[in-house]
Amino acid sequence: MSIPADFKRNEAIGLDLGWLNHIHVNKAAADRRAASLANRRTVKKEYQAAWLVKAIELIDLTTLSGDDTPGRVERLCMKAMRPLRTDLVEALGLQERNLMTGAVCVYHEMIRHADKVLKGRLPIAAVSTGFPAGLTSMETKVREIELSVADGAQEIDIVITRQHVLTGNWQALYDEMVAYRQACGEAHVKAILATGDLVTLENVAKASMVCMMAGADFIKTSTGKEGVNATIPVSLVMVRAIREFHERTGFKVGYKPAGGVSTAKAALQYMTVMKEELGNEWLEPHLFRIGASSLLTDIERQLEHHVTGNYSAVHRHAQP
Ligand SMILES: O=C[C@H](O)COP(=O)(O)O
């Protein structure tokens, strides 16, 4: 992932409870705006193909299953480095682009297997801090981050302690996020809010803001394991928090919807949210990722349809 040379990484600015108390979310308005974005006619033909190619570069290609094996992770990494079949790359004129996904995302135990294949050509993101529930001890969680960084993860996807949000204990959320960011060192940290557990959009907005105040590089919706994962209304609330944080502090924080984003159409919707709410700068991998295990397969099918006019069966596309 290339980060612009003048990019200034977010840092802890202190917990501002006054700012937090002024955060309110109009749910009806967020739902209406989300519906209008979701129903909008998306870009067509060549433009759509270009957006889908771009979407590939934004994917954190993910496998987070209890039955993950070194072999599966190695196949995932090969796919991340060569996400499209050669005939499609040629037909789309992408030979010079060196197309790859944004990163791969795995459990700690799989970092070294990913590293064997990727050899630094793509970032490895490791989920951490007792993913997905986040209910191990603080000491264990911080150590887990340190071990993943030592094994070669350049990005750490932490899960927040949901009870801090549900009980309004913003100081505790701030403190844990500061500790995680510190343990990450140079590795970038994505704060998974597990929005499906947070009950209200106002909680989502406040948790987003506290994590950014504590130095999160990215805020991310979900682990993929909650009952409800990424949605457009939640995304609107989170990207608007990012916009407000940028306006007030000058820091640019990234966004990662994750969980259940499995179709090209959904990817285009999330890209539209980013473009309309934050602008083109937030359509680059240092500020936007889509966490997904099966999205790439659908994008490849849609691009094949663009090239040949036909859809192939899902099983014809190499899957990790
Ligand atoms: O962080 C990424 C998610 O765990 C992936 O979820 P998914 O398998 O629904 O695409």
Please give the full DSSP string across 36-87, using - where no structure is assigned: HHHHSPPP-HHHHHHHHHHHHHHEEEE---TT--HHHHHHHHHHHHS-S-HH
pLDDT of residue 223: 98
pLDDT per residue over 47-79, tens digit each?
A: 899 999 999 999 999 999 999 999 999 999 999
Which tokens go with 201? 């959009």
Residue 176 lies in a domain: yes
Domain membership flag for residue 312: no
pTM of the model: 0.96
Contacts for 233 with CB less than 8 Å, ≥ 6 apart: 27, 30, 31, 34, 201
Show the low-confidence residues of the chain (pLDDT under 50).
Answer: none
Separation of 27 CA from ligand 1 center, angstroms? 25
The residues assigned a catalytic role are: 157, 220, 256
* CB of 81 sitting under 6 A from ligand 1: no
128 ligand 1 Cβ < 6 A:
no
| Sole residue written with tokens 């700068």 | 281
Q: What is the ipTM of this complex?
A: 0.96
Ligand 1 near 196 CB (within 6 A): no
pLDDT at 317: 63
> In which domain, by residue range, is 235 found?
17-307
pLDDT digits 0-9 by tens, 262-287: 999 999 999 999 999 999 999 999 99
Q: How many structural domains compose the chain?
A: 1
Instruction: Determine the pLDDT at residue 41.
Output: 66
Torsion region of 312: left, alpha or beta (phi above 0 gives left; psi -120 to 50 gives alpha): beta
d(CA 293, CA 305): 21
> Residue 44 has what pLDDT?
73
Please check whether residue 257 lies inside any domain of the structure: yes
Write phi, then psi, for 74 (nearest 5 degrees): -65, -40
Structure tokens at 249: 């502090």
pLDDT of residue 297: 97
Residue 196 CA to ligand 1 center (angstroms) comes to: 14
Q: Whose Cα sits closest to atom 10 in ligand 1? A: 292
Considering the domain boundaries, does residue 1 fall inside one?
Answer: no
3-state SS, 173-220, equals HHHHHHHHHHHHCCCEEEEECCHHHCCCHHHHHHHHHHHHHCCCCEEE
Among the atoms of ligand 1, which is closest to the Cα of residue 261?
Answer: 10
Domain contains 9: no
Q: Is residue 5 part of a domain?
A: no
Ligand 1, atom 8, lies closest to the CA of: 293
Any domain includes 129: yes
Ligand 1 proximity of 192 Cβ (cutoff 6 Å): no
In a domain, 314, yes or no: no
Q: Ligand 1 atom 4: the closest Cα is on which residue?
A: 224
Cα 249 to middle of ligand 1, angstroms: 31
Transcribe 217-264 into DSSP letters. SEEE---S-SSS---HHHHHHHHHHHHHHHHHH----EEE-BSS--SH
> What CATH number is attached to the domain comprising 152?
3.20.20.70
What per-residue confidence (pLDDT) applies to 40? 73
d(CA 193, CA 210): 11
